[in-house]
Structure 1
Amino acid sequence: MMGPLNGMKVIDLTHVMAGPTCTLMLADMGADVIKVEKTPDGDDTRRMLPPKIGDEAAAYMMMNRNKRGIVLDLKTDGGKKVLRQLVTTADVLVENFGPGVMERLGFGYEDLKKENPGLIYCSLSGFGRTGPYRDRRGFDLVAQAMSGIMSFTGEPGGAPAKCGPPLSDITAGILAAMGILAAYAHRLKTGEGQWVETSLFEAALVQTYWQSAIALATGIAPKAMGSAHPLNAPYQAFQAADGWIVVGGANQKNWLRTLDAIGAPELADDPRFRTGADRMGHLPELEAELAERFRGKPAAYWLEILDEKGVPCGPVYDMLQALNDPQTAARKMLVEVEHSALGPVKTLGLPVKFSSTPGDVLKGAPVFGEDTREVLTQAGFSDEEIEAFKKEGAVVCAAIDTQVEPRQGSQDPEKIAREARYRPSYG
């Protein structure tokens, strides 16, 4: 696999969202990520509500592409033996089990660093491994609530609202990947591994830089402002004649450019709107003045003229519109990847670009136990040992079915071989 992390081996003991985001980032940049799923039914995202792609849950497919998948029962002697063997040659282990679970299984950091001193061990949790809430379990909803985010999200005077995406989960995954890479750089210089950890709570807090700055400076907690900005105006959504647009006329230059675009130069001399502080102090009046003008013409008209004048702006898309935008395609943020059981499937691309060592999305999410036999064989276990593990219930292996007919139109023998389907065989 290409990518700047080519050669890094990662043991992924995570599930659902935050941990898989972390290991997804590493996999997309070239790391060999071995996703370890539990018996009997694997990652919880496999059972999330529809939609599904074939027999696979769409959520699982999105979060686990580019990874190799194995299935272990860590409550069995065989499962523990396999994991311990894999960890001895790993660079990184990532886990997001509940507090104390890894220690009870015998796989806490202090246990594993004795066998692999260079191991980078990363833990993600709801509130972190220290402090009065260290034993609490956490979810994105709880993190958004307790970080303050829900108090200033939504429309003024409305009920507390969370951000639509699982903000703290995804941010925690990105922070964990960043921490792992920093620890990896340290290990390259010293040979020393270490324990890296972060939490959903901290991940949510770092999304409040602006609001925290305001609260610390004024002693007043910011409130919900809809799409408006707490420090600059106009910087929000406006309704045009046929849809919504966003306008970033935040600094003085862009404010004057906005006035030029909408044909309202007289507002530049209005004492309510002369400076940024004036505009923030009279935000309702500013919104009313601009909203009346934007409602008079279609969104396409405003976007064209605002762009010509140099004002940052854009349409308010739904998800399908965003995925089909030409910029999404140009930046390769929507890509097609081959899944072993389903053929070509679409997924999001790699958001970080490298000039010399580009990452890529090369493999769909693994079916249940797809790579168990391959990974165990590479780890030094014999066929007899693998069969013994299967008999014990310590592992699950998926069998390759090479008898499936290729899709119509496939003539190239190599392509036909690539299109062979994997089907789970639970022996």
Structure 2
Amino acid sequence: MADFLTGTRIIDMTRLLPGPYATLRLAEMGAEVIKVEDINWRDPARYTGPADESGKGLVFLANHRGKESVTIDIQSAAGHEQLLQLIQSADVLMEGFRPGRMKQFGLDYETLRQSNPRLILCSLTGYGQHGPLSQTAGHDLNYMAVSGLLSLMAGPNSTPHPPSVQLADMIGGMAASEAVLAALIERHRTGQGRHIDISMTAALLGLLPVHTAVASSRLGEYGIEELTGSRVCYGIYQTKDAKYMALGALEPKFWRAFCENVHHAEWVPKQFEQAVNGNAVYEEIKAAFLNRTEAEWREFAANVDCCLSPVHNLPNALAQAEASQLTYFIREGQSAFTSIATAAGGIEL
């Protein structure tokens, strides 16, 4: 764990995944994070997925390591006062309620800044604090759909498929933690806090500067065509043992290296041929991949500089990431899950 944010106190009133993931990232940087739950409506993530012997769900455990936890009856006078005292001592307050709810609690930014002008309030919602969608209910799938990202998870004449990773939730959480860091730097300069408005849908759109430029300039409905698996040099191929390899040979030098080392130099000028069934080059490349196992292709990739990688399942990805020093893992004690390993947030110290 880093100590960048040592001495920074964060009150986290969020639930489920986006907000807790945001504050988890800040806790990894050394912040003190206090998870506040209303006794009348605790975080549903506590009960999501398999539970350990204490009754906590795996989803909750994965996103709340390193945090303190406080339960308060926010709707009672005593509980409300207790929460206000916590907020007055805080640098950051993270919330994810539907817009307007914090004002109903008497916890809107204009009220809170009267007693704590240095407070940074970060509101993390699906569609932001303003606009026609601000009161619309939604989850990760909805935000991906509205942002256009979900449509990019399909090609022409195919159905979009939701990924098994909650991309909107995670990207929204990353955007929130990034904005909080920027606000802390600003406060160091000005002495004043601010209200940050994070829309998960907007955060997803922020991932797509090239795609949006393409879509607006040449009507590329499915994004960057060359990156959709529609070209033979950039796609996923099945191996002899029914596993998969990802070939990303966009640059001519990588494509040439691949072709020459599989002894098919005649493929070199056909780099951007369509990857469609019946195309002779595509059929030949598929057949070539089916002639070797994943292990054989991995050995090939280790010796040929051509942007070729195995498509790992998650257990293999975790093992390879640690072995390759791509990240480090935080393992927590014995429980019904034997041990829990979660990847740190990608910050190398």
What TM-score do you get using the length of structure 2 for normalisation? 0.91
Q: Residue 352 of structure 1 aligns with which residue?
A: 346
Please state whether the residue corresponding to 1:347 is helix, strand or coil.
Answer: strand
In structure 2, distance between residues paired with 1:308 and 1:100: 58
1:236 aligned onto 2:235: yes
User: How many percent of aligned residue pairs carry the same amino acid?
Assistant: 28
CA displacement at 1:304 relative to structure 2: 1.3
CA displacement at 1:263 relative to structure 2: 1.5
The residue type paired with residue 57 of structure 1 is G
Q: Looking at both structures, which has the greater relative contact order when contacts are Cα pairs under 8 Å and sequence separation is at least 6? A: 1
Instruction: Please list every run of 5 or more consecutive structure 2 residues that lacks an aligned counterpart in the other structure.
Output: none
Alignment of 1:300-311 (within 5 A): 300-311=295-306
- Tell me if structure 2 keeps the 8 A contact 1:138–1:200: no
The residue type paired with residue 59 of structure 1 is V
Q: Residue 262 of structure 2 aligns with which residue?
A: 262
CA displacement at 1:111 relative to structure 2: 0.5
In structure 2, distance between residues paired with 1:296 and 1:155: 27
Instruction: Please list every run of 5 or more consecutive structure 1 residues that lacks an aligned counterpart in the other structure.
Output: 274-278, 356-427
Q: Residue 140 of structure 2 aligns with which residue?
A: 140
Alignment of 1:287-302 (within 5 A): 287-302=282-297
Match for 2:317 among 306, 312, 322? 322
In structure 2, distance between residues paired with 1:41 and 1:5: 30
Q: Residue 50 of structure 2 aligns with which residue?
A: 51
Residues 229 and 208 (structure 1 numbering): CA distance in 2 closer, same or farther, change over 3 Å?
Answer: farther
Residues 288 and 207 (structure 1 numbering): CA distance in 2 closer, same or farther, change over 3 Å?
Answer: farther
Q: Residue 415 of structure 1 aligns with which residue?
A: none
Q: Residue 62 of structure 1 aligns with which residue?
A: 62
Alignment of 1:204-215 (within 5 A): 204-215=204-215
In structure 2, distance between residues paired with 1:56 and 1:318: 26
In structure 2, distance between residues paired with 1:175 and 1:2: 19
Alignment of 1:75-86 (within 5 A): 75-86=75-86
Residues 343 and 298 (structure 1 numbering): CA distance in 2 closer, same or farther, change over 3 Å?
Answer: closer
- Tell me if structure 2 keeps the 8 A contact 1:46–1:57: yes
Q: Residue 390 of structure 1 aligns with which residue?
A: none
Cα shift readout 1:84-117 (whole Å, capped 9, x = no counterpart): 1111121000000112111000000111011111
Q: Give the stretch that moved more between structures: 26-35 or 207-216.
A: 207-216
The residue type paired with residue 53 of structure 1 is D
Q: Residue 392 of structure 1 aligns with which residue?
A: none
Cα shift readout 1:311-336 (whole Å, capped 9, x = no counterpart): 22221122222222263573453321
In structure 1, distance between residues paired with 2:218 and 2:226: 21
In structure 2, distance between residues paired with 1:196 and 1:203: 13
Q: Residue 105 of structure 2 aligns with which residue?
A: 105
Q: Residue 425 of structure 1 aligns with which residue?
A: none
Structure with larger Rg: 1
Aligned pair count reads 344
The residue type paired with residue 313 of structure 1 is L
Q: Residue 186 of structure 1 aligns with which residue?
A: 186
CA displacement at 1:34 relative to structure 2: 0.2
Please state whether the residue corresponding to 2:122 is helix, strand or coil.
Answer: strand
Cα shift readout 1:58-105 (whole Å, capped 9, x = no counterpart): 101101111100001110111110111111121000000112111000
Please state whether the residue corresponding to 2:208 is helix, strand or coil.
Answer: helix
In structure 2, distance between residues paired with 1:67 and 1:310: 44
The residue type paired with residue 190 of structure 1 is T
Please state whether the residue corresponding to 1:247 is helix, strand or coil.
Answer: strand
Alignment of 1:17-416 (within 5 A): 17-40=17-40, 42-48=42-48, 50-54=49-53, 55-154=55-154, 156-222=156-222, 228-229=228-229, 234-242=233-241, 243-269=243-269, 272-273=270-271, 279=272, 282-284=274-276, 285=279, 286-325=281-320, 327=322, 330-338=325-333, 345-355=339-349
In structure 1, distance between residues paired with 2:340 and 2:6: 24
Residues 234 and 209 (structure 1 numbering): CA distance in 2 closer, same or farther, change over 3 Å?
Answer: farther
Cα shift readout 1:225-270 (whole Å, capped 9, x = no counterpart): 898357x76222110111111112111111111112321111124x
Cα shift readout 1:102-160 (whole Å, capped 9, x = no counterpart): 10000001110111111111001110012221222221111111111222213552222
In structure 2, distance between residues paired with 1:84 and 1:53: 32
Q: Residue 395 of structure 1 aligns with which residue?
A: none
